[in-house]
A and B are shown apart, each in its own frame.
Chain A
Amino acid sequence: AQSVTQLGSHVSVSEGALVLLRCNYSSSVPPYLFWYVQYPNQGLQLLLKYTSAATLVKGINGFEAEFKKSETSFHLTKPSAHMSDAAEYFCAVSVSGGTSYGKLTFGQGTILTVHP
């Protein structure tokens, strides 16, 4: 079975500072990896996805993530934080085969706070 660990349930940065949200995965088969963002009282919005085409993935709102197989990591970064980036971020994994059919397994989430 696959799993995801997000290191740090809360991350706080200053506006304009680098954002780094950590995600490590466990999977016995090649994974597909996703980052989603959730604003209060809303559903999840896809930021970016890794599907093996390229290890550095660019997403919406200036976010990007790098897949590192040797480290089993898929950390999310943004060079300069904006106040509007304050939200909860979820890393998720999906695998092919068996009965998985693309169901997502999520990490516990990281709440990002951005200070002026």
Chain B
Amino acid sequence: AQKITQTQPGMFVQEKEAVTLDCTYDTSDQSYGLFWYKQPSSGEMIFLIYQGSYDEQNATEGRYSLNFQKARKSANLVISASQLGDSAMYFCAMTGRSGGGADGLTFGKGTHLIIQP
């Protein structure tokens, strides 16, 4: 069974500062994928970034990067130069098969990020 742990229920950050959202995972699979999603107050789930377990480089997408430390089983999301529009719930998730996604995602409980002006 897979498990995702997000230890920060809520965070307050000043605008323009960098933000790190923590995510640790547990799995017995050798091949897996890690995801981050943003859920604003409007409710939609927005895909941010993906990291495969065999990827040697950390994934980056614009202001988002994923700090992947395989030995520690952590997959922290880093948002550079935060903006007011980054205020939202953020979910870490994983799937058991990197590149397949056949068996669905296991989600953490989320971190509520609030960016303050």
Are A and B subunits of one complex? Answer: no
Interface residues of B, Cβ cutoff 8 Å to A? none
